[in-house]
């Protein structure tokens, strides 16, 4: 059986991020288009139990590399396994989540396999039966390019929320991969893994984002955004000026030198809307802008604008939303 398509399913302790399931679903769609099979790879310690879940999203086969020593991420060790899986299954399309680790692995695989790599893809098409064309953003999304590949193996990392995770349940075959320990490599060693933000989901995966800018006046005032975001099950973001002022950590920054996000709802509070910010959020499904200045550029991209003082409007909004929920 041909497994033209292979997906690396990066796991969390207790399952898979939505963006990984999106990649598996896209792999399923491509496999159907090509009349091929889809293989997913899981790597880690205690990951065997997670494998069947990938069948729910369309994997025909799950390769499981499970070992105590794989409990911490090792770029070389993980890459060895993926390289072996790709070679064993003669796969020609490799998909990964565009996470920081996914991107590290993708670049390594690209160099080792002399395979073209398109990062942060937002669309993938099969043209003329076999040719893969990937669409990816440039200039933080101010432009898009279609890229074709000149290599037999084609690697793509998929931008979170650009693809849809949909169930295509089947009983996936599970195959264990022998894990050869690192052969005396002196690669990077993770000494500690620190979680910040109380385990909240990353901005790029969030469905609702409430962001604040210069109009927030200080870091403490972000509490009113936190309250609103918490109520909606969302997370808080920030503009570059709020980050530069030291009110929020850089990991909260939305925009050209921060994160590009596309939630279902983006609420911009006290953000004027410089182009570098707009490119980071204008693929959001719905944008709400709250700003004192009726001429702020943010209103040009907002589906719903309120001209007013955010310190009046946001608490009222929280109140109204709370009433609606109860």
Residues 256-285 that bind other proteins (CB under 8 A): 256-258, 264-265, 275-276, 282-283, 285
Size of the site for other proteins (CB under 8 A): 95
What is each CA distance from 164 to 27, 113, 267, in whole angstroms?
11, 29, 23
In whole angstroms, the minimum distance from the beta carbon of 32 to other proteins comes to 24
Q: How many residues does the chain have?
A: 326
Stretch that binds other proteins, among 30-38, 58-66, 165-173, 193-201 (CB under 8 A): 193-201
What is the Cβ-side half-sphere exposure of residue 259, based on CA atoms within 13 angstroms? 26
126 binds other proteins per the rule CB under 8 A = no
Residue 166 as a binder of other proteins (CB under 8 A): the answer is no
Q: Which of 114, 128, 246, 326 binds other proteins (CB under 8 A)?
A: 114
Q: What is the DSSP secondary structure assignment for residue 218, as one 8-state letter?
A: S
Q: Give the shortest CB-131-to-other proteins separation in angstroms.
A: 10
Does 150 engage in binding with other proteins (CB under 8 A)? Answer: yes
63 in Cβ contact with 178 (< 8 Å): no
Task: Determine if 15 is a binding residue for other proteins (CB under 8 A).
Answer: no
Q: Which of 151, 181, 218, 223 binds other proteins (CB under 8 A)?
A: 151
* Interaction between residue 301 and other proteins (CB under 8 A): yes
Task: Specify the residue, 56 or 76, whose C-beta has the smaller distance to other proteins.
Answer: 76
> Does 201 participate in binding other proteins (rule CB under 8 A)?
yes
Question: Binding of other proteins at residue 138 (CB under 8 A)?
Answer: yes
Residue 71 interacting with other proteins (CB under 8 A): no
218 lines the binding site for other proteins (CB under 8 A)? no
Q: Which residues contact 236 (CB under 8 A, 6 or more apart)?
A: 209, 210, 211, 212, 222, 225, 226, 229, 248, 252
For other proteins, which is the closer residue by CB, 169 or 199?
199
- Site stretch for other proteins (CB under 8 A), options 37-45, 54-62, 81-89, 149-157: 149-157
CA distance 309 to 299: 14
**Closer residue to other proteins, CB minimum distance, 223 or 275:** 275
322: Cβ–Cβ under 8 A, 6 or more apart, which residues?
231
Rounded Cα distance between 275 and 279, Å, is 6
Please tell me what DSSP assigns to residue 171.
Answer: -
35 binds other proteins (CB under 8 A): no
Give the C-alpha distances (Å, rounded to integers) separating 156 from 98, 99, 124.
9, 12, 9
Q: Do 45 and 67 meet the contact criterion of CB atoms below 8 Å apart?
A: yes
């Amino acid at each position: 059986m041909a497994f033209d398509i292979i997906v690396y399913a990066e796991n969390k302790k207790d399952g898979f991020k939505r963006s990984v399931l999106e990649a598996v679903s896209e792999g399923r769609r491509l496999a159907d288009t090509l009349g091929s099979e889809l293989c997913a790879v899981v790597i880690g310690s205690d990951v065997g139990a997670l494998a069947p879940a990938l069948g729910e999203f369309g994997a025909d086969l799950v390769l499981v590399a499970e070992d105590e020593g794989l409990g911490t991420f090792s770029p070389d060790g993980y890459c060895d396994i993926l390289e072996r899986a790709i070679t064993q299954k003669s796969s020609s399309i490799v998909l990964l989540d565009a996470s920081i680790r996914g991107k590290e692995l993708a670049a390594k695989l690209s160099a080792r396999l002399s395979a073209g790599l398109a990062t942060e893809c937002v669309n993938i098409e099969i043209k003329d039966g076999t040719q893969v064309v990937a669409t990816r953003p440039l200039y933080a999304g101010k432009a898009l390019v279609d890229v074709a590949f000149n290599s037999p193996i084609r690697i793509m990392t998929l931008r979170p929320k650009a693809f849809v995770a949909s169930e295509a349940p089947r009983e996936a075959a599970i195959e264990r991969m022998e894990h050869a320990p690192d052969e005396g490599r002196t690669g990077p060693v993770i000494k500690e893994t620190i979680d910040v933000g109380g385990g909240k989901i990353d901005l790029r995966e969030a469905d609702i984002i409430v962001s604040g800018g210069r109009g927030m006046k200080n870091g403490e005032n972000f509490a009113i955004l936190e309250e609103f975001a918490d109520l909606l099950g969302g997370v808080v973001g920030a503009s570059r000026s709020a980050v530069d002022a030291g009110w929020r950590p850089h990991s909260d920054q939305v925009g050209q030198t921060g994160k590009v996000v596309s939630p279902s709802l983006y609420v911009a509070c006290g953000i004027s809307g410089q182009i570098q910010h707009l490119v980071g959020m204008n693929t959001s499904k719905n944008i709400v802008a709250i700003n004192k200045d009726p001429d702020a550029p943010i209103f040009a991209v907002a589906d719903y604008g309120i001209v007013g003082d955010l310190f009046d409007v946001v608490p009222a909004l929280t109140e109204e939303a709370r009433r609606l929920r109860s």
